[in-house]
Copies of this chain bind each other. A is one copy, B any other.
Amino acid sequence: VNKPTPKMCPGWTEFREFHTPTGGLFFRTGRVLCRRTSDFQEIEVFDHDFFGKVLFLDGLVQTTERDEFYYHEMLVHPALACHPKPDRVLIIGGGDGGALKQVLAHPVKHVTLVEIDPQVIEVGREFFPWLKACLKDKRADLVVADGNEFLTKSQRLFDVILVDSSDPVGPSAVLHRKGFFGNMKKRLNRGGIAACQSGSLLLHASTFRVKSRFLKGIFRRAHFYTGPVPTYPGGLWVYNFLSDGADPLDIKRKPPAGLGYYTPDVHRAAFALPANLKKLIG
Mark out the residues of chain A between 139 and 191 whose CB falls within 8 Å of any chain B CB in the assembled complex.
166-167, 169-172
The docked-state distance in angstroms from the alpha carbon of A82 to that of B119 is: 53
B170 lies within 8 A of A2 (CB) = yes
Chain B residues with CB under 8 Å of A2's CB are: 58-60, 166-167, 169-172
Which DSSP category, helix, strand, loop or mixed, fits chain A's interface?
Answer: loop
B235 lies within 8 A of A261 (CB) = no
- Select the stretch in A22-30, A96-104, A121-129, A212-220 that faces chain B: A22-30
B266 lies within 8 A of A274 (CB) = yes
Given contact pairs A22-B50, A228-B228, A269-B269, enumerate 15 new A-B contacts (beta carbons under 8 Å): A4-B20, A6-B18, A6-B21, A16-B26, A20-B50, A22-B49, A24-B25, A25-B26, A228-B235, A235-B235, A261-B274, A263-B274, A263-B278, A265-B273, A269-B272
Known: A2-B166, A262-B275, A276-B261. A29 touches B25 (CB 8 A): no
Chain B residues with CB under 8 Å of A234's CB are: 228, 230, 235
Indicate how many identical chains form the complex: 2
14 of the cross-chain contacts (CB-CB < 8 Å) are A3-B18, A3-B60, A7-B21, A20-B49, A22-B50, A24-B25, A24-B26, A26-B26, A201-B228, A228-B234, A259-B275, A263-B278, A265-B272, A268-B269
Q: A residues within 8 Å of B by Cβ?
A: 1-7, 16-29, 48-51, 58-60, 67, 166-167, 169-172, 201-202, 226, 228-230, 232-236, 259-263, 265-266, 268-270, 272-276, 278
Pick the 10 closest A-B CB pairs, nearest first: A235-B235, A2-B170, A269-B269, A269-B272, A265-B272, A228-B236, A7-B21, A3-B59, A22-B28, A230-B234
Chain B residues with CB under 8 Å of A202's CB are: 67, 230
**Nearest chain B CB to A14 CB, angstrom units:** 9
Which residue of chain B lies nearest to A274 when distances are taken between CB atoms in the complex? Answer: B261
The docked-state distance in angstroms from the alpha carbon of A98 to that of B273 is: 22
Chain B residues with CB under 8 Å of A24's CB are: 25-26
Chain B residues with CB under 8 Å of A23's CB are: 25-28, 48-51
A21 lies within 8 A of B1 (CB) = no
Chain B residues with CB under 8 Å of A235's CB are: 228-230, 232, 234-236
A260 lies within 8 A of B276 (CB) = yes
The docked-state distance in angstroms from the alpha carbon of A249 to that of B145 is: 48
